[in-house]
């Protein structure tokens, strides 16, 4: 047998990965759900997590909103990505919407509802600003800490979808994707320690604004609570064992108490939706809030 060159091996490996990816994609497509009318279908690319209902904060945000508003919905865990390359995305009566915030805006319009009605004009603008702090800044600090700080590799190994040599391939791909995205964003040009300083400022601002309020903006939940809860799920559970989580628990316990309150209120079935739990049940295709489906 002729000796194969290094480039030939690289091409063969790339081809193998492509074939596996395509086959997986075709196989996943066969599991498309049949969906009743007037039900929101939430497409989760990552599926349920080991210790969290979703590994990404954005599906958590969206699903928390659906639960907060008791909107009829079902989850699709077949792993399809939206046309924008973003996840999560939704389908509603054959209309597709990508981007978690656009999804929420769409659902609000379709159902004629608004969680922010009790907020003053100034409060709504503050909520918008914090939404951007959480999703356009703080989120990236956590991604950089997890995948660009080598101290967190043992933590990643525990929760990664691939083990052994496969883990390093997964780690390399995800790290490169985050480095590319955050370089374009700008925050990726800072060192891991500089990003840590930025994150501490964000955590402090969230904690100081929350204070001892029950929800972020006051006594009643509003839309920003969905995003903040999704991000705190990532921070306090997915990033458990990191300095980010330790810092929050030690210096800003009000955020931890807030997270627990939201979890108990809107995710009483948390244990059935995390794959590490012996109570886990796959809710692919399960309908929620069917009593609210309009006739």
Partner 1 sequence: MGAITNFVICITAAMGVVLITVIRRGRKRVKKVYPPNTIVHHQIGRGPYAPSITPFALKLETYLRMAKLPYLNVHDRVRSSKGKLTWIEVNGEEIADSEFCIQYVNRKFNVSLDEGFSEENRAAALAIQRMVDEHLYWTLVLQRWVYDSKDGINISKMLNFPWVITPTLRNFVNKQSYAQGVGRHTEEEVHHVMHEDLTALSKFLGNKKFLLGDRVCQTDGAVFGMLAQFYWHSFGGYGEKSIKKYPNLCDYCERMKVEFWPDWDDCITHGWTRKATK
Q: Which residues bind partner 1 (CB under 8 A)?
A: 84-86, 99, 102, 121-122, 124-126, 128-133, 136-137, 180-186, 189-190, 194, 198, 201-202, 204-206, 208-209, 211
Considering beta carbons, is residue 193 or 295 the nearer one to partner 1?
193
Q: Which is nearer to partner 1, 31 or 189 (CB)?
A: 189
Least distance from partner 1 to the Cβ atom of residue 101, Å: 8
Minimum distance from CB of 124 to partner 1 (Å)?
7
State which residue, 234 or 288, has the beta carbon closest to partner 1: 234
Q: How far is the CB of 57 from partner 1 (least distance, A)?
A: 13
Shortest spacing between CB 122 and partner 1, in angstroms? 6
Pick between residue 15 and residue 186 the one whose CB is nearest to partner 1. 186
3-state secondary structure the chain: CCCCCHHHHHHHHHHHHHHHHHHHHHHHHCCCCCCCCCCEEEECCCCCCCCCCCCCHHHHHHHHHHHHCCCCEEEECCCCCCCCCCCCEEEECCEEEECHHHHHHHHHHHHCCCCCCCCCHHHHHHHHHHHHHHHHHHHHHHHHHHHHCHHHHHHHHHHCCCCCHHHHHHHHHHHHHHHHHHHHHCHHHCCHHHHHHHHHHHHHHHHHHHCCCCCCCCCCCCHHHHHHHHHHHHHHHHCCCCHHHHHHHHHCHHHHHHHHHHHHHHCCCHHHHCCCCCCCCCCECCEECHHHCCC
Residue 150 CB, shortest distance to partner 1, in Å, is: 21
Q: Which is nearer to partner 1, 73 or 130 (CB)?
A: 130
């Amino acid at each position: 047998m002729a000796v194969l060159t290094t480039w030939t091996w690289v091409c063969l490996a790339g081809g193998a990965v492509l074939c596996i990816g395509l086959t997986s994609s075709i196989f996943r497509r066969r599991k498309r759900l049949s969906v009743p009318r007037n039900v929101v279908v939430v497409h989760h690319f990552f599926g349920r997590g080991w210790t969290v209902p979703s590994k990404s904060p954005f599906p958590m945000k969206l699903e928390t909103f659906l639960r907060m508003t008791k909107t009829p919905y079902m989850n699709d865990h077949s792993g399809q990505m939206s046309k924008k390359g973003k996840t999560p995305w939704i389908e509603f009566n054959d209309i597709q919407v990508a981007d978690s915030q656009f999804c929420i805006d769409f659902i609000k319009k379709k159902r004629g509802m608004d969680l922010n009605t009790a907020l003053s004009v100034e409060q709504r603008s503050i909520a918008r600003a914090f939404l951007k702090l959480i999703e356009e800044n703080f989120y990236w600090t956590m991604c950089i800490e997890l995948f660009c700080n080598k101290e967190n590799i043992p933590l990643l190994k525990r929760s990664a979808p691939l083990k052994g040599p496969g883990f390093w391939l997964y780690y390399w791909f995800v790290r490169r994707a985050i480095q590319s995205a955050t370089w374009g964003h700008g925050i990726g040009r800072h060192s891991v320690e500089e990003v840590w300083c930025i994150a501490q400022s964000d955590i402090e601002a969230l904690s100081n604004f929350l204070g001892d309020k029950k929800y972020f903006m006051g006594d009643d939940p509003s839309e920003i609570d969905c995003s903040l809860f999704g991000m705190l799920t990532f921070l306090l559970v997915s990033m458990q064992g990191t300095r980010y989580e330790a810092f929050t628990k030690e210096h800003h316990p009000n955020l931890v108490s807030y997270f627990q309150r939201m979890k108990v209120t809107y995710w009483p079935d948390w244990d059935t939706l995390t794959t590490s739990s012996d109570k886990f049940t796959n809710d692919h295709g399960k309908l929620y809030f069917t009593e609210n489906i309009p006739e």
